[in-house]
Amino acid sequence: MAKHLKNLLFSAFPLLCILFLLSISFSQTSADTPPATPVPPSKLCKSTPFPSFCNTVLPSSNSSANVYDYGRFSVRKSLSAARKFLSLIEKYLRKSKQLTITAVRALEDCKFLAESNIDHLMSSFQIVDQTSKTLSVLEADDVQTLLSAILTNTQTCIDGLQATASAWRVRNGILSPLSNDTRLYSVSLALFTKGWVPKKKSRPSSSIPAGRKQLKMRNGSLNLKMSARNQAIYSTVNKRRLLQADSGDNQVLVSDIVIVSQDGTGNFTTINDAVAAAPNNTDGTSGYFLIYITAGVYEEYVSIGKNKKYLMMIGDGINQTIITGNHSVVDGWTTFNSSSFAVVGTGFVAVNITFRNTAGAIKHQAVAVRNGADLSTFYSCSFEAYQDTLYVHSLRQFYVECDIYGTVDFIFGNAAVVFQNCNLYPRLPMSNQFNAITAQGRTDPNQNTGISIQNCTIRAADDLANSNITIRTYLGRPWKEYSRTVYMQSFMDSLINPAGWTIWSGDFALNTSYYAEFNNSGPGSNTSQRVTWPGFHIINETDAANFTVSAFLLGDDWIPQTGAPYTAGLL
């Protein structure tokens, strides 16, 4: 009997091998189904953050549908949901006389954000509706950025309503549909990522080397290319001689120039009037509309809307040209609309300007700059406030050779942003407060967002350095569930707490956040006593390269035209 069984197994061995190989092949195919292959929604939904909700959304009647079909359906449904939500907000705002001013402000934020979502979804749908194949790296990053931003916008609306006590009358009627919208947007982002995004985001650039880009800029100086008329105007008022004499390919193209001067010698006496005079919806091909702001303290709340694209603002230098306000949460503003300066126009560039919120630590959240401008750059600028100084709200941003001052969460938001060669200055907070440099707000694992801090210097501001009080200062804390922040090749002074990072609330996001450090220096960079959360990592060069300007922002394709100096890769 044993011999017979042995012979039977021996004769069946080839068949067993074939079946085994087939099973491996099938498991590999089912695990990584090509996007164009028909797939049931129940299987596809498993790859989204909300499988059960996804199953209720995607149609199950079409057996030949694939990732692209479901992705288009989800984005189209998301657009419909965004429009319905905007109508709901407008309905509540029509009854604004029955609401407090703080509730109205929160609703106005939601209206602004809902309108932005509609724009982002329309742009996204135009692209996904045209192709059923993996997109180029640049196209995929554009759409993933927009779909990431709609989740950020929705969460910002939720945060504003929840933080506004007087909004309780409208909160319940709004938060419920927003919860469903958030899950729908998350499904759309997941399906887009699965179908249209290439596996490898970064791409080699043969035309631009990996090192530092020298674009004839020194200490906040730009090499500007403009007409003889504009050059004459600029040279007349520009005592710092920012304009270079040579004419090369590295010049920054300028289409027109206006001067803001408080003494009446320029074209305008206020910044907002100059912004209003800028052309609408330009594509940047003819150059930047340059607003030159002479030295002075400009006490005005500047807002650069979505129709004011490719504006460049140049001041007379840090602490010379100052834009300042004092709105705060304590005084009835939402965090979102407390900013002294706000920008959402694509391609914005600021150089040699100080942005300030003077509300003080006692007024809690008080933003100096809120930036939701895609492909925006701040070069040789300073940002001064206490809690929530710089709101890197959404989309793609770059900051180089800037100074940022603050206390609690003073760099926060959910943009894809790189800070390079900047100085970060924790200040003296109120009693019983600690300092947290960052509070990153990523809410979804498919968002291409995060804060990357490279070759920066972290030192105590003068008020903290000269204080006898011991203040705990941390690199960051997890504001949202998938918070992501990386410090690399930066100097950290002794003020950094040995733990490095601190909690938001209990064990919230300690498993799902991503915090990393790479090759930092200084007494505060010692990682031997760092937190032991699953989300904290000491990374190697390969992982760190993912958070460089070239890889994380695809900056080689848009930063050179701004004239700002930058390092594409690691140092």
End-of-domain residue from the set 196, 217, 235: 196
Q: Rounded CA gap, 416 and 150, in Å?
A: 14
Q: Which residues of 169-190 are buried (b: 16+ CB within 10 A; e: fewer)?
A: ebbeebeeebeebbbbbbbbbb
Contact in structure between 425 and 459 (CB atoms under 8 Å): yes
Encoded amino acid at 245, one letter = A
Q: Which residues of 476-503 are buried (b: 16+ CB within 10 A; e: fewer)?
A: bbbbbbbbbbbbbbbbbbebbbeebbbe
Among residues 409, 463, 493, 543, the one annotated as catalytic is 409
Strand partners for 378:
350, 399
Q: Is 122 contained in some domain?
A: yes
End-of-domain residue from the set 179, 196, 213: 196
Residue written as tokens 């189904």? Answer: 33
Strand partners for 370:
342, 391
Q: Is 26 contained in some domain?
A: no
**Phi, psi at residue 538, to the nearest 5°?**
-100, 110
Residue 258, SS3 per DSSP: strand
**In which band, very low, low, confident or very high, does the pLDDT at 408 lie, cut at 50, 70 and 90?**
very high
**In which band, very low, low, confident or very high, does the pLDDT at 20 lie, cut at 50, 70 and 90?**
very low
End-of-domain residue from the set 151, 171, 196: 196
Contact in structure between 95 and 87 (CB atoms under 8 Å): no
| Mean pLDDT (whole number) for 126-155 | 97
Question: What would the pLDDT profile of 346-392 be if each residue is shown by its tens digit?
Answer: 999 999 999 999 999 999 999 999 999 999 999 999 999 999 999 99
Q: Is 360 contained in some domain?
A: no
**Phi, psi at residue 495, to the nearest 5°?**
-70, -20
Which of the two residues, 222 and 338, has the higher pLDDT score?
338
According to the model, what pLDDT value does residue 30 have? 37
Lowest mean pLDDT among 29-38, 93-102, 151-160, 217-226: 217-226
Mean pLDDT for the chain? 89
Residue 240, SS3 per DSSP: coil
Task: Tell me whether residue 507 is one of the annotated catalytic residues.
Answer: no
**In which band, very low, low, confident or very high, does the pLDDT at 215 lie, cut at 50, 70 and 90?**
very low
**In which band, very low, low, confident or very high, does the pLDDT at 237 lie, cut at 50, 70 and 90?**
low
Residue 456's CATH number: 2.160.20.10
| Mean pLDDT (whole number) for 134-143 | 97
Residues 260, 266, 272, 274, CA torsion sign: negative
Number of H helices, E strands in the chain: 12, 29
According to the model, what pLDDT value does residue 397 have? 98
According to the model, what pLDDT value does residue 62 have? 76
> Which residues span the domain enclosing 65?
41-196
| Mean pLDDT (whole number) for 244-248 | 39
Question: What would the pLDDT profile of 498-510 be if each residue is shown by its tens digit?
Answer: 999 999 999 999 9
According to the model, what pLDDT value does residue 165 have? 76
Q: Does this model's pTM top 0.85? A: yes
Q: Does 163 have pLDDT greater than 50?
A: yes
* Cα distance from N-terminal residue to C-terminal residue, the chain: 72
Q: Is 377 left (phi over 0), alpha (psi -120 to 50) or beta?
A: beta
Q: Rounded CA gap, 240 and 278, in Å?
A: 24
Q: Work out the percent of the chain whose per-residue pLDDT is above 70.
A: 86
Number of domains in the chain: 2
**Phi, psi at residue 180, to the nearest 5°?**
-65, -40
Q: Rounded CA gap, 110 and 117, in Å?
A: 10
Q: Does 14 have pLDDT greater than 60?
A: no
Residues 322, 323, 329, 335, CA torsion sign: negative
Helix axes 67-93, 137-163, angle to 10 degrees: 30
Q: Is 260 contained in some domain?
A: no
Lowest mean pLDDT among 36-45, 131-140, 158-167, 229-238: 229-238
Lowest mean pLDDT among 238-247, 328-337, 421-430: 238-247
Q: Is 470 contained in some domain?
A: yes
Tokens linked to 247? 């004419």
Q: Is 569 contained in some domain?
A: no
Which of the two residues, 345 and 224, has the higher pLDDT score?
345
According to the model, what pLDDT value does residue 223 have? 73
Q: Rounded CA gap, 522 and 507, in Å?
A: 29
Residue 74's CATH number: 1.20.140.40
| Mean pLDDT (whole number) for 147-170 | 91
Q: Is 363 contained in some domain?
A: no
According to the model, what pLDDT value does residue 228 have? 72
**In which band, very low, low, confident or very high, does the pLDDT at 234 lie, cut at 50, 70 and 90?**
low
- DSSP assignment of 99-126 equals S-HHHHHHHHHHHHHHHHHHHHHHHHHH
Q: Rounded CA gap, 481 and 446, in Å?
A: 12
Radius of gyration of the chain (CA): 26
According to the model, what pLDDT value does residue 63 have? 79
| Mean pLDDT (whole number) for 425-433 | 96
Q: Is 303 contained in some domain?
A: no
Q: Does 136 have pLDDT greater than 90?
A: yes
- DSSP assignment of 10-57 equals HHHHHHHHHHHHHHHHHHHHHHT--TTS---HHHHGGGSS-HHHHHHH
